[in-house]
């Protein structure tokens, strides 16, 4: 199975990027390709995809606010435990 780490920014249903990724995730063959997600969330918020992701076999890694540097630190720690064929970074970053 190929695992792909998705970094959509927020795991909220109000995030358009996340909505697109979830639409793809629901229709792929998850026996061949599995998505895992790292993003900001508010545990217990009914407006997030966390339970659905877990029910489809994906892992969810909470990301603290902090932009690109926080995401980089989290991805490094995740890669110590899992082997991903790809990382898909969706979040827009403010530089400067």
pLDDT digits (tens, 9 = 90+) for 58-83: 999 887 766 677 767 777 888 777 78
For residue 96, is it within any domain? Answer: no
Domain membership of residue 70 (yes or no) is yes
Examine residue 49 and state whether it is found in any structural domain, yes or no.
yes
Question: What six digits make up the tokens of 1?
Answer: 């199975």
CB 83 within 8 A of CB 3: yes
Q: Is residue 95 part of a domain?
A: no
Predicted local confidence at residue 66, as pLDDT: 66
The answer to whether residue 65 is domain-embedded is yes
What is the CATH number for 76? Answer: 3.40.50.80
Number of folded domains that form the chain:
1
DSSP structure class, residue 12: B
Look up the domain containing 22 and give its range.
Answer: 2-89
Higher pLDDT, 17 or 9: 17
In a domain, 50, yes or no: yes
Predicted confidence at residue 80, as pLDDT, reads 79
Whether 76 is covered by a domain: the verdict is yes
Q: What does pTM read for this prediction?
A: 0.80
95: confidence class by pLDDT, cuts 50, 70, 90? very low
């Amino acid at each position: 199975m190929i695992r792909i780490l998705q970094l959509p920014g927020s795991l909220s249903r109000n995030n358009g990027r996340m909505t697109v990724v979830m639409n793809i995730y629901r229709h792929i063959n998850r026996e061949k390709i599995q998505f895992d997600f790292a993003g900001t969330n508010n545990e217990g918020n009914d407006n997030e995809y966390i339970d659905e992701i877990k029910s489809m076999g994906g892992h969810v890694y909470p990301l603290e606010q902090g932009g690109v540097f926080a995401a980089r630190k989290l991805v490094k720690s995740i890669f110590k435990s899992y082997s991903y064929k790809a990382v898909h970074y969706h979040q827009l970053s403010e530089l400067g």
